[in-house]
Amino acid sequence: MSQKQDDKNILNDLFSVINKLILMMVLLICVLIALPIGYYISNLPARPTVVMQDVPALIAEEKKLVLEYWIAPDVNTISDAAEKETVEYGKELIAHTSKYLGPMGSVMQISNGMNCQNCHLQAGTAVFGNNYGSVASMYPKFRARSGGIENIQKRVNDCLQRSLNGSALDSNSKEMKSIVAYINFLGGNVKKGEKAVGSGFKDLAYLDRAANPDKGKAIYTIKCVSCHQADGSGLLNPEKSEYTFPPLWGKNSYNDGAGLYRVSNFAKYVKYNMPIGSTHENPQLSDEEAWDIAAYVNSQARPHFNVPKDWPDKSKKPVDHPFGPYADNFSEKQHKYGPYKPISEQLKKREAALAAEKKI
């Protein structure tokens, strides 16, 4: 019995030693972990003290960030019943132009079946979606394309005749008055002479090469065909009264006098709005893809619009205007597809030289 008792005591002592070693190891690990954490905490920058008087300023700054871009006013805020009805009809004409003015229009048949909002997204309210935020504040204004002062009615009819490849509205018609009322209402929260932040197109850097229609076709086939079809003919709604997805070329698309026929405008438009789900903050296309798709789409056949009086001052033509004559020696092809940087640089030098002459 004595031998067994001795063995038992030895085992107990051994277990006791092992437990103490384990405890010491745990304590050592805790110390090693705690040291860098303590050092990190002790070296954190001091947290700024915010007193109550600072809170309004912080809230104001946060709101400034949120409200950086123009926001369209709500039609439901109009208290006058007659004015609201007019503005709502104007919005309806923009959103569903073809229903009223298209090939089967209920009011008249003067356009190709596209809707104004096919180019001016969300009835002209989308940020960088070619919206109407700055129209009321900036018109009437001088436009180099016509070489004269234009009012909103002229601008609307330009779209009808070019983008919708149709006929002009009578300025005194109910439809024109309603469209103008809607555009004026949208821009009513923008100070006269100022441009709303987020209106028009978002800038897009020029490529160092020409935009490539062949590369654009490959990208179009992957990212655009499901909506606009392989032949660019778009997709009509079941009633055949308007396009769910508009035609991008062919007899029912915009003609070659439209603003989107300029490759830079089309590239900016698709870069920040297409495919569906894209936004100016989260685009799905690279810059090169946008330029190449624009080149491909605008290389396709479409109606011609004869406008010999456009750009009376040739030196004011945009660098990507696709038709000559020009005030420079660059080819029509380079003006259409680029590269645009050499043209832009020459234009800037000419403008600088003219400015210097005026000072003499």
CA distance 47 to 59: 19
Tell whether the model's pLDDT for residue 69 goes beyond 60.
yes
pTM metric for this prediction? 0.80
Amino acid 48: pLDDT = 44
Q: 201-355 has which CATH code?
A: 1.10.760.10
Mean pLDDT of 75-93: 98
Q: Which CATH superfamily is domain 75-189 in?
A: Cytochrome c-like domain (1.10.760.10)
Binning pLDDT at 50, 70 and 90, where does residue 355 land? confident
Question: How distant, in Å, are the alpha carbons of 112, 229, 274, 295, 299 from that of 270?
Answer: 21, 16, 5, 12, 16
CA distance 54 to 216: 53
Amino acid 4: pLDDT = 53
Amino acid 58: pLDDT = 43
**330 within 8 A of 338, measured Cβ to Cβ:** no
Q: Where are the domains of the chain?
A: 75-189, 201-355
Binning pLDDT at 50, 70 and 90, where does residue 144 land? very high
Q: What are phi and psi of 179, to 5 degrees?
A: -65, -45
Q: What are phi and psi of 161, to 5 degrees?
A: -80, -25
**341 within 8 A of 292, measured Cβ to Cβ:** no
- The predicted-structure confidence for 263-306, as pLDDT tens digits, reads as follows 999 999 999 999 999 999 999 999 999 999 999 999 999 999 99
Mean pLDDT of 22-42: 57
